[in-house]
Amino acid sequence: MSDRAGGPARRRRTTTSDGGAASRAKGPDAGPKDRRENGRTEPRAAGKPGASAGDDITDRLSCHVLQESLLSSASGYSNYRGILNWCVVMLVLSNARLFLENIIKYGILVDPIQVVSLFLKDPYSWPAACLIIASNVFILAALHTERRLAVGALSESTGWILHIFNLLFMLVFSSVTVLTVSSLTPVGGVLSLAVYTVLFLKLYSYQDANRWCRETRQAEAKRLTRSHSCPNVANGSAVRSHVSYPGNLTHRDMYYFILAPTLCYQLNFPRSPRIRKRFLMRRLFEMLFLMQLLVGLIQQWMVPTIQNSMKPFQEMDFSRMVERLLKLAVPNHLIWLIFFYWFFHSSMNFVAELLQFGDREFYRDWWNSESVTYFWANWNIPVHKWCLRHFYKPMLRRGINKFVAQTFVFLLSAFFHEYLVSVPLKMFRLWAFMGMMTQVPLAWFVGRYLNGNYGNAAVWMSLIIGQPIAVLMYVHDYYVIHHGSSS
């Protein structure tokens, strides 16, 4: 009797125990379906193995539990993959409509051969290439100055003056050449000045790092009366041959640094063990494909939009100006994103793989930026490292306030942005300079009043809207200067 009476109870306990064990066996990775079946949110079907008549009646009488809606923050739900896919589909469809509308209105405007005219006015004259080749004079001047400093033939103050003169003359020489040579196109001027800007930052880092090595060597010589190798950071990577100061002052070392995808010099760079041919070919394919895509988008989408924006700006039709600005924002931002991937991922990884350069951190997760300062510190790591190492931290060591130091960093960046735009266009309007300097109050406002997703949205808004404003300003002024009288 007791066995028969206790049998169903024991069977129910056994079933419950087995179900609990199965639930525990599934662990935290159990899917939503498993969690609904194991929880109380979904009634158990009658006739299911292990279900009793009492449970079936209870499930039919009670089908509600205490729970939040999925879209409520209190629900803890975070799987929005389907909504993200929906956003991507809508984005593709909306841009496809715009692209089709552009094709119907303007026809096919893509002409790869026309791109050559952006670089060359005369096929037998290559002023931009000649200007870039001439930069070797400044590279060799910096190397020779460091060699003289290493053997004590020059004093530190004299060497510093020679380096500063070399750097300033390099910027002045390139600017004067671009402004005076009429056969140099704006695109050729931008490329030439970009090379000279990168070279300026590299050579400044070169003289700074070698000066630190001399200071370290002199301090160790006083204490230990023996030569001392300048410290280096290898990051645990394989270093082929350890170089000590002044053994680094060679043409091979200098030109490796000039070609390497970094702006900060050190004696021993981290090196990758081998060249990965498949990785190299993928990056090369991306470079070629994305370059053609960029050219096509600019010719087919941006150029007609910019040309149609001139009349509203001349007539100061504010509503039409805003409409043209928003219309330009989409292709401009898409081109900027493609350019970012082309330059910072494909091109720089291609060069790094060729040179077996080990430090591949060219960018961080700037797309998650919740503040303007985080964006500028993470979207261009080579420049950020240079500013931090050679500009920001030296000012802090001199007792300058952090906010003032950050303002000076933005000031330096604003100067080079204006330098790379105004000089090739041969007009000085300071739009790029003012655009960069407005980042200072914007960074303060976003950091103080906006947090989380609101801060991230503000950063994206500044990128999507800010750049087209500067583009339209420069194009409008360039159009007025060169074509205003004829129109």
Residues carrying an active site annotation: 417
Separation between Cα atoms, residue 266 and residue 433, nearest integer Å: 31
C-alpha span between 272 and 276 (Å, rounded):
10
Angle, helix 186-224 to helix 127-134, in steps of 10 degrees: 10
β-strand partners of 271:
238, 357
Distance of CA 85 to the CA centre of its chain: 24
Tokens of residue 312, six digits: 């509203």
Terminal-residue alpha carbon distance, the chain: 109
- Residue matched to tokens 């066995």: 3
**Cβ neighbours around 457 below 10 Å, total:** 13
Q: Which among 382, 129, 387 has a CA at the least distance from the CA of 257?
A: 382
β-bridge partners, 238: 271
Give how far Cα 366 sits from Cα of 23, 201, 331, 460, Å: 40, 23, 20, 10
Q: How far is CA 248 from CA 152, 253, 254, 265, 430, in A?
A: 16, 6, 8, 11, 41
Amino acid at 368: N
- Cα dihedral 235, 238, 244, 245, rounded to 10, equals -60
Reading the block at residue 195, the tokens are: 């090379």
Report residue 43 as tokens: 């009634």
Q: Would you call 52 helix, strand, or coil by DSSP?
A: coil
Q: Which position has the token pair 């680094």?
A: 248
Q: Are 268 and 239 in contact (CB under 8 A)?
A: yes
